[in-house]
Amino acid sequence: MDVKEQILHNIQNVLAEITDRKPYIKIDRPQDPNHGDYSTNIAMIAFPDVKSKFKDPFKFAQELAAKLNKSGELNEIFERIQAQPPGFINFWFSEEHLIKELGKVLDKKEKYAGSDNKEKTVVIDYSSPNIAKAFGIGHLRSTIIGQTIYNLYKFLGYKTIGDNHLGDWGTQFGILIYQVIEKKLDVEKQGVEKLEELYVEFNKDAEENPQLRDRARLWFKKLEDGDVRAREIWKKLTDTSLKEFSRIYDLLNIKIDYAYSESFYEKMLPEIIRECVDKKVAVEDQGALVIKFPGDGLPPAIIRKNDGATTYLTRDLATIKFRLSQWDPKLIIYEVGVEQSLHFKQLFKAVELLGWAKADMFVHVRHGLYLSSDGKKFSTRRGKTIHLFKILEEAVGRAEKLTKGGDKRIAKAVGIGAVKYFDLFHNPSSDIIFDWEKMFALEGNSAPYLQYAFARTQSVLAKVKSQKSKVKGEIQNQNLEKEELLILRLLIYFPEVVRDAAENFSPNLLCNYLFELSQVFNNFYQKHKILGSKKEEFRIALTSAVGQILKTGLYLLGIEAPEKM
């Protein structure tokens, strides 16, 4: 239980003595330190329930604060708990508790803020690129955000399962098989970029000759029916793509537990369709089978086309049934672009209609788009995209200019880190305009800035003959400078930030915290002497703790923390 949870628990207990109502309790971290380290407006929220007993919200807040001050648990953490008009309750950490928490960071090291929730299983569906398409900038968001959410939940002790749902089925394969046959190509001699060109060419041709799409659909139907030639071409398309994906994942240091592709669920599809019909969830409509959602404001969704071919929804239903039976998760998270919002609303509702699970155990983390400098979105279909491998190569090249001696290992850590962090510090739902300058800004919210702050902590510690691992008692009696207090107060928030980033599926919350910590430490470093000062031992301990939190935080973001820059 972190500090915020302890406050919440104690407020709930005090409210229970006064009212039977259980209002929502919001606890904030004030931007102005004069308003405390934590603050809540619960007295104003709950006042209507107790106005017969108290004159105004401030009087109610005073009563709550008085009762909270009697809590032995909170007295060990806060030096004072005080009501302020018009009805806030503010909490100030004691210096003793801040020092005690510093000791915990140094003792637990990389395990600080971790926890144990192994009885809960979380499945995270992320990356999920389409076969026969080069890894574009658009694939980066799902891969990076999904991996970070995975890291967060695993760090919090959940049994965490990552599943890379590869797109190796559907009408697009009818398109590619048709193109390969028409152009008499040897797939094994083609790279993924050439296969993507075939897809783009087809869509341009189909604009002038729409009947080509019927031929593509026919070839996908043949693929589903087991046509030998179609299957042979499809297998070669898949093998070529997987080699390309492995190259990208290695460069990004992405490791996903499973890679069950859409075709894996092929044998389950007749059973899924039969169950939908038997439970009257799906009905026939103009030769197709559709699921209707009366009263939910959702349009009907097709699970079998009038030519007998299945759809993306059918395969996603099979995927969920497999995951439920295989892993029995408490939560399934899909990190997929915002353009798939309607699909997932239909999918989760269909699962509920089938009686497999409640819709609230599924979450769609909707990421926005990468946009070009002119604000336009990239499109594979129109041939307007940026291939990710080229971006990563250029990022490493730019990073070599920032590192001493052009160290390639450090350049890779800085370059790949810059690309990842630039994505992650944005809210997942926001669109992003690709910007090299912001990505490598040494004075802004960027991975190189955080990595440099970490390297600075390690430079200090490298000069210490024996790195301190604990804070000795006498340090508690020293007067703390403003900059030292700011660091201590930030360190204590780390467990809360990690939990909030996971529960809100928002890696940007962790990025904001690490950036703030880096700024505060750099300010402390500029203003105060560390080695050779009267407070050397304490300041070494403080520097070590900052380095540990930065390293752990960067690790959770999937970013390396080089000791030298």
Instruction: Tally helices (H) and strands (E) across the chain.
Output: 20, 13
437-492 pLDDT, tens digit per residue, is: 888 887 889 999 999 999 999 999 999 865 554 444 445 556 899 999 999 999 99
Angle made by CA atoms 382, 386, 389, in degrees to the nearest 5: 135
Same domain, 213 and 184: yes
The residue segments making up the domain with residue 447 are 388-556
Specify the pLDDT at position 385.
59
318-377 pLDDT, tens digit per residue, is: 999 999 999 999 999 999 999 999 999 999 999 999 999 999 999 999 999 888 776 666
Average pLDDT over residues 36-53: 95
Nearest to 215 by CA among 156, 175, 248: 175
Task: Count Cα neighbours of 68 within 13 Å in the Cβ-side half-sphere.
Answer: 30
CA 356 to chain centre: 26
Looking at 371, 399, 425, which one is the last position of a domain?
371
Specify the pLDDT at position 471.
45
Same domain, 317 and 458: no
Q: Indicate which CATH number applies to the domain containing 310.
A: 3.40.50.620
Answer yes or no: are the C-beta atoms of 315 and 169 closer than 8 Å: yes
Q: Indicate which CATH number applies to the domain containing 446.
A: 1.10.730.10
Residue 380 lies in a domain: no
Looking at 336, 371, 406, which one is the last position of a domain?
371
Measure the CA–CA gap between 397 and 402, rounded to whole angstroms.
Answer: 10
Same domain, 161 and 211: yes
Looking at 371, 403, 429, which one is the last position of a domain?
371
Residue 272 lies in a domain: yes
Same domain, 7 and 136: no
For residue 177, pLDDT over 70 is answered with yes
Q: Which residues contact 203 (CB under 8 A, 6 or more apart)?
A: 175, 381, 382
Say what the pTM is: 0.91
Same domain, 149 and 280: yes
115-154 pLDDT, tens digit per residue, is: 877 789 999 999 999 888 878 777 889 999 999 999 999 9
Same domain, 177 and 317: yes
Q: Which two tokens stand for residue 462?
A: 């490298």
Domain count, the chain: 3
Same domain, 264 and 193: yes
Question: In which region does residue 56 sit, left (phi positive, over 0), alpha (psi from -120 to 50) or beta (all else)?
Answer: beta
Same domain, 156 and 237: yes
Nearest to 549 by CA among 470, 508, 488: 488
Same domain, 287 and 159: yes
Specify the pLDDT at position 2.
79
